[in-house]
Chains A and B, each alone.
Chain A
Amino acid sequence: MLKYIIKRALWVIPTLLGVLIILFGLTYLMPGDPASAMLGPRATPELVAELNERMHLDRAMPVRLGYYLVGIVKGDLGTSVWSGHKVSSLLAEALPHTALLAFTSLGIAALIGILLGAFAAVRRDSPIGGAVTIASLLGVAIPDFVAALLLMLLFCVQIPILPALGAGTDDGLIGIAVHLILPATALGIGWVGYLARLTRESMLDVLDADYIRTARAFAVPGRAIAYQYALKNAVIPSITVIGLGVGKLLGGAVFVEIIFSRPGLGKLIVDAVYARDFPVVQGGILVATALFVLANLLADISYAFVDPRIQYD
């Protein structure tokens, strides 16, 4: 198992390196002189010169790439053109908000979705199965930002019981939790339906498998058969989907953050794009990619824990 994890983890390095080089190359796609482009109307010759100096924009490409890579290894992602803050500290501030939103939302959605799907499969003749299917189709059909707007209208405007804006960081843990309810629901609701349907389908297959019949033949209690013997097999496709879906999740988090005006990676990147604050955009995307790659790594590792056959392929 350890060998598998290390082998799998080593793959992260070339992936991130590739992204780095692409991000670096993007500066060359900017029309004209990058420094004036970034500074926009504020571009005075002095500022342009200072920026060129600071970002080594006047050096040859390989030298710049070298500076860039060395900086990243040292944890230095440059400074914001707009605010002068270090990009790394801007990211350190934004990241926990996004991670909290994305992973509470996904965690709770996965738990509810998988259990709901399993339950619907076990009670295959009851109306729950149909209800799960319909709910999941609805959940998948509604984009995150529409769900976010609808929830906001419903619970902040029509029946104003939940806060609409911000992250609630000034109100302690309870404030954070309360501010998380709507955005996390908006982000996770599609996942609940999707995972429920996926789990239901694979669970129905698994429940007909020979090894389930074996367990029944030896009188293993029905609940243990369903929620241990069968579910551990039935959950495998969901893990794959979650791993592949983390990109979509982060993308959704960006929209939801903007709608609920939550601080976070999404808001940081989008604001930086509008401000043409290139170092921030670069650093933000790099970190988002790293998150994505790490999430996939985690999914693969948990996959190997659930399905022992994987490690040996």
Chain B
Amino acid sequence: MSEPLLEVSNLTLDYNLGGRKMRALDRINFTLEKGEVLGVAGESGCGKSTLGLAILRLLPRVAEIRRGAVFFKGTDLLKLSEEQMELEIRGQEITMIFQNPQNALNPVFKIETQMTDILRVQDRNQNPGSRKRHQHYRKQAIERLKLTGIADPEARVSNYPFEFSGGMKQRVMIGMALSSGTSLLLADEATTALDVTIEAQINKLIIDLAAEYGISVLYVTHNLGVLAEMADKIMIMYAGRIFEMGEKEMLFGSPRHPYSAALLESLPSRQKKGRRLLSIPGFVPPLDRLPKGCSFHPRCVFAEDICRKQVPPLTEVASGHWSACLLDQKRGRQKWQWT
């Protein structure tokens, strides 16, 4: 098989907070093929956003990558210079939709200014020496707004961000990120700020455009239900680690990790009649005080002695299906029935 579009290998990252080291990503390994949609899910704080930011090298200053590589079309992005990232990768090959739309746009510039600036950069990086007028990019900006379903884009384009709702800001971001030249879209909770009907619309838009342009998508969400419709592959994260990863059908059909099983059981659509809604007891542990052994063991109803002592490695338990549970690895496929 040809090389994958994206290969993240052994990526390990700490946040350094006044002497406290928080391992936000721990030996992350996965690949993403051209045109594929990889859904990333997990509870809050498990490192989903950090992963996206690490790929584009937009991490805050307190973050430090300890090891690993991010191969994109064969080159390790972590080895590129800032200039190369700017000229070749960011906003060009890889775009990102950020999680918090409220603060993602500059409050003191019009939407028009922010979008045309970006469109101009994209154009000049693609066609060096291009000298198009502002009006050209403005039209393009209006097109993008129309594409994401903003009503009256001709007038709206000259608004300031504070005149837009959170959902509309998110659409602006999506409009900026969905460009035909892009190879990889990092969508971090792209639709969380939207209401349910619009969420479905926007997700369809992302999927359709991605399919049309052949864009691969890393689709981060805390909502596994959405992934049932959108994703090809699923990755379940917990406290900086991958717990389970595989084709959507395999993972949804027969989850190999108790954590994934619990997440699936807590989906309202999957609730069996007469049973109470599952919510996993306890909390995600703070990253600088992870429990020994399997970091999930204090919350896992299946935990045994061995779980408190050994760290479960991420292992290929079936072809293309990876899981990090000791009991699953020792005894083979189990039915992780939480309720």
Contacts and interface: CB of A to CB of B under 8 A. Distances in A.
Contact of A217 (B56, B61, B109, B125): B56
B117 A220 contact: yes
Given A208-B60, A219-B86, A309-B160, A213 B98 contact: yes
Contact of A309 (B60, B92, B162): B162
B176 interface: yes
Contacts of A11: none
A236 to B, nearest CB: 8
Counting chain B CB atoms within 10 Å of each CB, which of A215, A217, A309 scores highest?
A217
A274 interface: no
A220 B61 CA distance: 19
Interface string A201-229: 00000001111111111111110100001
A221 B86 contact: yes
Contacts of A233: 106-108
Interface residues of B, number: 32
B118 A218 contact: yes
B98 A214 contact: yes
Given A209-B103, A308-B162, A309-B160, A218 B108 contact: no
Interface in B37-62: 56, 58, 60-61
Contacts of A220: 91, 117-118, 121
B88 to A, nearest CB: 9
A232 B173 contact: no
B60 to A, nearest CB: 7
A87 to B, nearest CB: 44
A307 interface: yes
B216 interface: no
A214 B114 CA distance: 10
B8 interface: no
A306 interface: yes
A221 B85 CA distance: 11
A211 B107 contact: yes
Interface in B131-172: 160, 162
Contacts of A217: 56, 58, 90-91, 95-96, 98
Nearest to A312: B162
B86 A306 contact: no
Nearest to A230: B106
B87 interface: yes
Nearest to A212: B106
A212 B60 CA distance: 11
Contacts of A309: 107, 160, 162
User: Interface residue tally of chain A, by bracket?
Assistant: 20 to 34
A73 B92 CA distance: 64
A229 B56 contact: no
Given A217-B56, A219-B125, A308-B160, A232 B108 contact: yes
A126 to B, nearest CB: 15
Interface string B100-118: 1001111111000010011
Nearest to A206: B106
B105 A229 contact: no
A267 to B, nearest CB: 41
B103 A210 contact: yes
A209 B87 CA distance: 22
Interface string B167-196: 000000100100000000000000000000
B117 A214 contact: no
A306 B107 CA distance: 10
B92 to A, nearest CB: 6
B106 A215 contact: yes
A104 B214 CA distance: 59
B95 A218 contact: yes
Contacts of B103: 209-211
Nearest to B119: A218
A276 B58 CA distance: 67
A199 B118 CA distance: 26
Counting chain B CB atoms within 10 Å of each CB, which of A210, A216, A218 scores highest?
A218
A309 B86 CA distance: 31
B108 A213 contact: no
Counting chain B CB atoms within 10 Å of each CB, which of A212, A220, A232, A233 scores highest?
A220
Counting chain A CB atoms within 10 Å of each CB, which of B85, B100, B103 scores highest?
B103
Contacts of B58: 213, 216-217
Counting chain B CB atoms within 10 Å of each CB, which of A208, A210, A212, A309 scores highest?
A210
Contacts of A218: 90-91, 95, 118, 121-122, 176
B174 to A, nearest CB: 12
17 contacts: A208-B60, A210-B104, A214-B104, A214-B105, A214-B106, A215-B117, A215-B118, A216-B90, A218-B91, A218-B118, A219-B92, A220-B121, A221-B121, A224-B117, A229-B109, A308-B107, A309-B162
Interface of B: 56, 58, 60-61, 85-87, 89-92, 95-96, 98, 100, 103-109, 114, 117-118, 121-122, 125, 160, 162, 173, 176
By Cβ-Cβ distance, the 8 closest A-B pairs, closest first, are A218-B91, A210-B103, A219-B91, A219-B90, A211-B106, A218-B118, A219-B86, A308-B160
Interface of A: 208-222, 224, 229, 232-233, 306-309, 312
